[in-house]
Structure 1
């Protein structure tokens, strides 16, 4: 159609004029030459091809089945069907081997017996077969046998023989003994049939190849003979019958199950695990792998014509598939002992035109004359038209490559091309804005700044300088102001949902963008200045923000002083969902971080609350660690000048410091709080006191018994008083040892041994009324007859609590622990505990206390920390290591530890020294604590450079002002401490 104003024409007009003339000229010249003979050539070619292919398919099936059918018939007449033992059956296996050698299609031959016995012969001449059966390298066959003797378990054997059928190896396969031929489909079908029977084709599990089983029940013998054949040769036969490049052939059953296809991968279908456990299954003509081919349509036509119902008919027809016409034929193939198979053939009509090419050549001369004239005209017209199209194509390539920098400046005389150029230019501008906003949203990590960025970006789109963002309150009853643009944030007010202003209510009710005109109060709600002069063009863009669940999470309002542009409003609407999801994501991240922070604080608080001896340790160590880390971050000189912390580093330090003692949740309180040597869940000194009381009562009883027997009362009283005095002194000594205040010298231990040698008489059983665990320990030794004399102090077998094997750490353990683990978990022997040289803890209990850092590392290493927090287990688990490598639990040296791990060690020590909330000790003063830490530097326990930074940065002073009692803060001479540091270095 001509445009009278500009003299331009549409693209449709140009193309129609040029190509219509060419099509009419060429079509008229060649149409009448080809049409008259086309149908005859196609019909003759398709009929000849189909008949020949069907004949060849039947012959191929006969060649495939004949050896297997013959083998089954011959073997059924052999003595193997009467054999009842494996030795008798082995004699007949050379016959089976001969069949396997002569017929490549035969996969295996076997016999199943009515008593459940089974014997099978497979070839192992290939590496694949030997690998499947675990056969020796020189084996030629494998004999698989199952024997079932009455009253005995079935025996499954694999016997490997060479070409001469000489046994070269065998083994027993218990899993194969479970195979029962009587339960197999081929056995059952043979039992129910007269003569040979064939199973439906199926996929062999080991080879993933299509096969079929031919079986024959041998009457009077109790045996059933079967042969497995491979159907893959049918695919080769079909490939040979493809007379054109795109001929489609398939052999299938009445259930549309695939039997053969030129492409063998079409026959096997890997079904999902929910269907078959991931095993291969027989493909179908309707399967996914055949989608896009004509065969499913051929199958539908065969079903509609009743061919697959077994009526013996042959379907010959034409159908249209994917815009092309096909000649098809579906014919039944009769198979003895099985349902008929069906051969489907489909050939594109276009490929059957080989005989018509001569006709087309005759028309080529006429076409050539026409093209000589038409080509120059066509090329000239196409060039004029395609030049701007090519320019637009280059612009499209830039868009494809995400290059939106340059505007589209393509002009054309064709109206559609010119309009397309302007549309592409607008599209590039819109996408550029969209990507810029999305990038700004994705790059911003701070939630408050994200809201402001989003508001400003949306304002730029609609040309607004005023606006606001409201977010849904936690109780979902109101919209809370969250960001403002162009006006003070304080001017925005909370908007209850049950009384929303009309300017917001309409957008919320419609759940869509609204653009109402705003003045006065409505203008203030939308983030504008209500004092501004009235503008009849002023309107607001009110955008509800919805999350992934279509729940409103807030509202964005933008005030525009110009009449609204619907396209910009639609753009804002499209962008709002992406923006809302970004907001929701940031909210979720923030809430998850808050939850995680609360969780780790809860763990730390629980650890501190678990024992009065830790106090606020888990809360103070993080603060001191972060103070020291920030001091290292702020320094520009020295060994820590290059240590610069990112926000991710700070988060990792924070979490690691709060969780540095999380393993203490596994440490029993009675070990941590053990105040005396005999204390467990209670102080066992009371048991020993009672034994002394018993001995004292015995002394009195002996005295009164002597008096009653007429003895010298004065002498007896003297003996009694001496014994009572000795018992009191001995108990006082035992009680003093129990307190753990005195060093246990050899003389004191020897006295304990003397006291322990005294005995007391027990008349009641100590194996009743006790826990199952203690009863189990006592059961290791027989119970003595009562009454029994027992030592006053003893180390008994039941005092030993053994360590579980899973609690032992191998040298190559995954955590890298290098520990000297005590043999036992606990040793509660009375003499063993009272003989502890210093303090109250045994080596086992001291290890248990130190084990908290081991558990910390194990617990944290099992948590799925994100990438930027992967260092948390290493940071938290290193605060008991020492610079000289003598620390716990990995014996790391200073060079093997990160600076932050070494910082946490200093924080842990300084907090422990100065803590004033430990009931068992008084907190050190600043000068005392720093002096002790100086000695630890000298001994190679803590990092010298970090200790120097600790002193010079004043971190110790800042910590003291926040957490230490005033009386602990004394004068500290830093210069006096640093020379010691230099000397140590």
Structure 2
């Protein structure tokens, strides 16, 4: 470091020296610099990849060895090493089984005793293992036991245990009696060593598998503990670490003997009897036997270099093998009880750097062109600063890609680059923290949770576990606590703005963060407990929160042990402004939602207030719809088991239900409230009465004229009285027809036509003193000369109000309406209205009332709903549709409607049937309303499955208890009202 300190100079100094040297060396350096620069990139990339792969491979192998090493360490200290008989050893099998359960790498654990006794626990994890020991199917473990008596007798047996370590049975095993642990290599090596030992690979006596044993002498007990690791496990671990198809890996010892290889056949070889002097045996292969790979030469170089694994040094090299370059690395593996192990990895460079080579070729062409036109000094400067600048460039790319996971660790001889590296590291850390808390803020949708998330996020940055958030109250008179950290928020007090605590007032007056030492009351204000801890004094940051208009919307306080430095204060200041804007945005969103909600309720209230016949309909239907939707959401079986409401669904249902009748604002009151057939804005029966009065006056005048002329008085009286009586009877009949209480039979219609034939004399013009619109309608026919005789009752052209062309719906209208529209908007003809067969409404007026749902859909479809409320028009506009497709305005069938729209139809019907605030009818009882709805199910009008859910979930009962009069709530036989399955399928 002293040398580095002496040679470090500013970038300006280095560039000055470079420019001087450049004049003499520019010609010879350009070509070499290009190759060196690109080669450095490839070398660095391969080294990084190799380092990562090697680390993962070494770690994986250490994870295999570590459980076995730990197991023998612990077992060597256990009481089992001091037992003398099988009966004393068997209760400890559960203890040994715990190590086998924790590590799949362990194939068995065992203890050999100095008297020749032996006990081993083997898991029967597969059918192959069970077959090897002829174990019963329910056996989970096999205990192999050898007991030697003082007189030289040997008893060997298998004992089978279930998962609860209960003995299932045992079997004498004579072939195992010849096994003496004292003659085994693992026993001998462990007995001669004070630490753990690891054997070379060999064939296990019992399982005949290839593997390695880790053993440890149990001090003071006369026993040796062993654990076996199968070579299959080691081979599988190495196979996972292959980078490319032709990657070579090998684990070997300092004597170059093989320990593990992805192909276990390359670890040992089977020797013939002639080579072993008896039975066939195993010979351990050397890494030199790995023909056709580059591993032998690099392995030998690593051992000669003296890598021990103590200082974490590795051997990295680039070698040529069969004319192909290879990247190789040898890493020492830290093992206990053995000479060093080494992990060798070799990868063909062509496979490792396929894409890098392509980039190298493309970059070489580009660099070649640049070199021809660039100033030569660029190449020399790049040579001096290539590596740190390259590393910083990669870091900059990570920042550009929003990757802030790794710290920046770039060193350089150039002071400016060193400072840049440190600054970039600080910047990366700062941006990461900034983005993390901003992401948390942006992802949180609940305003209260957002405040808590903001407070806790800021607390994590400054190392604070206590704090509070205060926001300006709605009336701008006080600071109200809305979130707290370390203490319950309800323990904080509301502070009037004109009497703020000193610690808050100072921050407001300064319009900036206030960092100070506080205690007592000030500590309690900032969210801390003034009585907690030995030292009540704490450091606090009081952070004013400003919105886009630089107006304060609240204050955040953070209490911590350490004093905040200047850079941290600036960071908190920057983050607090972003957080304040996020808070303001959420407040605005909440305010807009509240405004929208109030607007919805205002429309609904206006509709209910407009007509006394609807009452609280617009308020009750939303409640009933939401109750039915929640019942479907809670269903865990049946047709609605898969229906799960989201918060967006709930809001869409809420809005749609409140606006389901908003189109009624376009329906004239005089149509909705039409009580008689001739009623419009007033009852036109009064005009007809006046005409009858005129005819009665005419009868009187005729009588007196006859008297004046000297006609027969008796005849005059009879004629007058007869005419007056007939007029009274005829008017009484017309008045009765106007009430609409009796069915208009053909004979009544004929009589009405006869009465209409009576005439009366009009002497005044009916085209003066009237509206422009009515005058326009009258002018469709020529005005007759006055006086004129007119029918007593008539359907005149001016009685017809034509429908505007824009009010007609084409078959392919964008809303999908399928309506039988009357030809005229209104027909106010006197005979036409008096001839209404039932009720008081004409076809045109009935269509106008039904038109409210059409206007509802049109009005809502024109509103710019956000995406999660796009279904509102469909939900609100479907409550008059029927399951059989005979409803309006689109004649949708049940399968074409959403579940929520069908729910609203049921809610609308039930509310209408039971509403007790309609002056024209009495609210029905619950049982009657449900029975009527049952008939509607059979007629295919409402959804049978939803009706069944409505019944069985007792939504109707909950609704009745909240909104219906007590005398309307009666007993309901739900079972009798439920639709059967056949009806449900037919309707659906």
Whether TM exceeds 0.5 here: the answer is yes
Corresponding position: 1:629 with 2:629:
yes
Q: Which residue of 1 aligns with 2:952?
A: 952
Q: Which residue of 2 aligns with 1:403?
A: 403
Distance in 1, matches of 2:758 and 2:730, equals: 11
Going from structure 1 to structure 2, the CA distance change for 1:717 and 1:435 (only over 3 Å counts) comes to: same
| Deviation at residue 650 of structure 1 after TM alignment | 1.1
1:41-88, CA deviations, whole angstroms, 9 ceiling, x for partnerless residues? Answer: xxxxxxxxxxxxxxxxxxxxxxxxxxxxxxxxxxxxxxxxxxxxxxxx
Look up the SS of the partner of 2:480 in the other structure.
strand
Taking the TM superposition and a 5 Å limit, the aligned residue runs for 1:739-888 are 739-888=739-888
Distance in 1, matches of 2:763 and 2:16, equals: 124
Count of residue pairs the alignment pairs up: 641
Look up the SS of the partner of 2:686 in the other structure.
helix
Corresponding position: 1:694 with 2:694:
yes
Taking the TM superposition and a 5 Å limit, the aligned residue runs for 1:20-35 are 20-25=19-24
Look up the SS of the partner of 1:481 in the other structure.
strand
Deviates more, 1:834-843 or 1:489-498: 489-498
Going from structure 1 to structure 2, the CA distance change for 1:748 and 1:696 (only over 3 Å counts) comes to: same
1:344-401, CA deviations, whole angstroms, 9 ceiling, x for partnerless residues? Answer: xxxxxxxxxxxxxxxxxxxxxxxx9xx9xx99xx98x976753344333333332222
1:3-40, CA deviations, whole angstroms, 9 ceiling, x for partnerless residues? Answer: 679555236388358624423436999xxxxxxxxxxx
| Deviation at residue 715 of structure 1 after TM alignment | 3.6
Corresponding position: 1:729 with 2:729:
yes
Corresponding position: 1:638 with 2:643:
no
Deviates more, 1:885-894 or 1:780-789: 780-789
Look up the SS of the partner of 1:638 in the other structure.
coil
Deviates more, 1:753-762 or 1:400-409: 400-409
1:81-122, CA deviations, whole angstroms, 9 ceiling, x for partnerless residues? Answer: xxxxxxxxxxxxxxxxxxxxxxxxxxxxxxxxxxxxxxxxxx
Q: Which residue of 2 aligns with 1:15?
A: 14
Distance in 1, matches of 2:978 and 2:535, equals: 74
Look up the SS of the partner of 2:8 in the other structure.
coil
| Deviation at residue 918 of structure 1 after TM alignment | 0.7
| Deviation at residue 885 of structure 1 after TM alignment | 1.4
Distance in 2, matches of 1:843 and 1:408, equals: 81
Going from structure 1 to structure 2, the CA distance change for 1:971 and 1:547 (only over 3 Å counts) comes to: same
| Deviation at residue 529 of structure 1 after TM alignment | 1.6
Q: Which residue of 1 aligns with 2:682?
A: 682
Decide whether the 8 Å contact of 1:874 with 1:901 is kept in 2. Answer: yes
| Deviation at residue 419 of structure 1 after TM alignment | 4.2
Corresponding position: 1:899 with 2:889:
no
Decide whether the 8 Å contact of 2:934 with 2:979 is kept in 1. Answer: no
Taking the TM superposition and a 5 Å limit, the aligned residue runs for 1:90-105 are none
| Deviation at residue 614 of structure 1 after TM alignment | 0.9
Taking the TM superposition and a 5 Å limit, the aligned residue runs for 1:377-392 are 386-392=386-392
1:474-504, CA deviations, whole angstroms, 9 ceiling, x for partnerless residues? Answer: 2323222111111222232222222322212
| Deviation at residue 416 of structure 1 after TM alignment | 4.5
Going from structure 1 to structure 2, the CA distance change for 1:536 and 1:383 (only over 3 Å counts) comes to: farther
Distance in 1, matches of 2:720 and 2:534, equals: 114
Going from structure 1 to structure 2, the CA distance change for 1:702 and 1:794 (only over 3 Å counts) comes to: same
Taking the TM superposition and a 5 Å limit, the aligned residue runs for 1:89-238 are none
Going from structure 1 to structure 2, the CA distance change for 1:604 and 1:27 (only over 3 Å counts) comes to: closer
Distance in 2, matches of 1:768 and 1:682, equals: 20
1:198-219, CA deviations, whole angstroms, 9 ceiling, x for partnerless residues? Answer: xxxxxxxxxxxxxxxxxxxxxx
| Deviation at residue 851 of structure 1 after TM alignment | 0.8
Going from structure 1 to structure 2, the CA distance change for 1:387 and 1:776 (only over 3 Å counts) comes to: closer
Distance in 2, matches of 1:390 and 1:5, equals: 20
Distance in 2, matches of 1:858 and 1:637, equals: 37
Decide whether the 8 Å contact of 1:663 with 1:859 is kept in 2. Answer: yes
Corresponding position: 1:504 with 2:476:
no
Look up the SS of the partner of 2:639 in the other structure.
helix
Look up the SS of the partner of 2:484 in the other structure.
strand
1:810-838, CA deviations, whole angstroms, 9 ceiling, x for partnerless residues? Answer: 11221111221111111000000000011
Look up the SS of the partner of 1:639 in the other structure.
coil
Distance in 1, matches of 2:837 and 2:448, equals: 61
Distance in 2, matches of 1:413 and 1:778, equals: 102
Q: Structure 2 regions of 5+ residues with no counterpart? A: 29-371
Decide whether the 8 Å contact of 2:4 with 2:413 is kept in 1. Answer: no
Q: Output the TM-score relative to the length of structure 1.
A: 0.62
Decide whether the 8 Å contact of 1:8 with 1:414 is kept in 2. Answer: no
| Deviation at residue 841 of structure 1 after TM alignment | 0.3
| Deviation at residue 421 of structure 1 after TM alignment | 3.8
Taking the TM superposition and a 5 Å limit, the aligned residue runs for 1:602-613 are 602-613=602-613
Look up the SS of the partner of 1:517 in the other structure.
strand
Q: Which residue of 2 aligns with 1:649?
A: 649
Look up the SS of the partner of 2:852 in the other structure.
helix
Going from structure 1 to structure 2, the CA distance change for 1:979 and 1:460 (only over 3 Å counts) comes to: closer
Distance in 2, matches of 1:617 and 1:981, equals: 32
Decide whether the 8 Å contact of 1:925 with 1:968 is kept in 2. Answer: yes
Q: Which residue of 1 aligns with 2:427?
A: 427
Distance in 1, matches of 2:16 and 2:721, equals: 139
Q: Which residue of 1 aligns with 2:913?
A: 913
Distance in 1, matches of 2:16 and 2:689, equals: 121
Decide whether the 8 Å contact of 1:934 with 1:980 is kept in 2. Answer: no
Going from structure 1 to structure 2, the CA distance change for 1:707 and 1:439 (only over 3 Å counts) comes to: same
| Deviation at residue 592 of structure 1 after TM alignment | 0.2
Distance in 1, matches of 2:807 and 2:15, equals: 87
Decide whether the 8 Å contact of 2:11 with 2:416 is kept in 1. Answer: no
Decide whether the 8 Å contact of 1:537 with 1:563 is kept in 2. Answer: no
Distance in 2, matches of 1:582 and 1:695, equals: 80
1:752-804, CA deviations, whole angstroms, 9 ceiling, x for partnerless residues? Answer: 00111111222222222222211221122222222222111111111111111
1:639-692, CA deviations, whole angstroms, 9 ceiling, x for partnerless residues? Answer: 222222111111111111111111111111000000000000011111111212
Distance in 2, matches of 1:669 and 1:827, equals: 17
Q: Which residue of 2 aligns with 1:212?
A: none
Going from structure 1 to structure 2, the CA distance change for 1:393 and 1:768 (only over 3 Å counts) comes to: closer
Decide whether the 8 Å contact of 1:3 with 1:9 is kept in 2. Answer: no
Distance in 2, matches of 1:803 and 1:25, equals: 97
Decide whether the 8 Å contact of 1:948 with 1:981 is kept in 2. Answer: no
Distance in 1, matches of 2:11 and 2:730, equals: 120
Decide whether the 8 Å contact of 1:8 with 1:415 is kept in 2. Answer: no
| Deviation at residue 959 of structure 1 after TM alignment | 1.1
| Deviation at residue 712 of structure 1 after TM alignment | 3.5
Decide whether the 8 Å contact of 1:388 with 1:411 is kept in 2. Answer: yes
Q: Which residue of 1 aligns with 2:562?
A: 562
Decide whether the 8 Å contact of 1:656 with 1:875 is kept in 2. Answer: yes
Decide whether the 8 Å contact of 1:934 with 1:981 is kept in 2. Answer: no
1:725-767, CA deviations, whole angstroms, 9 ceiling, x for partnerless residues? Answer: 2222211111111111111111111110011111122222222
1:931-982, CA deviations, whole angstroms, 9 ceiling, x for partnerless residues? Answer: 1111111111111111111111111111111111111111111111114674
Deviates more, 1:674-683 or 1:726-735: 726-735
Distance in 2, matches of 1:422 and 1:786, equals: 107
Deviates more, 1:385-394 or 1:858-867: 385-394
Going from structure 1 to structure 2, the CA distance change for 1:27 and 1:408 (only over 3 Å counts) comes to: closer
Decide whether the 8 Å contact of 1:543 with 1:573 is kept in 2. Answer: yes
Distance in 2, matches of 1:896 and 1:411, equals: 68
Look up the SS of the partner of 1:814 in the other structure.
coil
Decide whether the 8 Å contact of 1:938 with 1:981 is kept in 2. Answer: no
RMSD value over aligned CA atoms? Answer: 2.7
Going from structure 1 to structure 2, the CA distance change for 1:713 and 1:663 (only over 3 Å counts) comes to: same
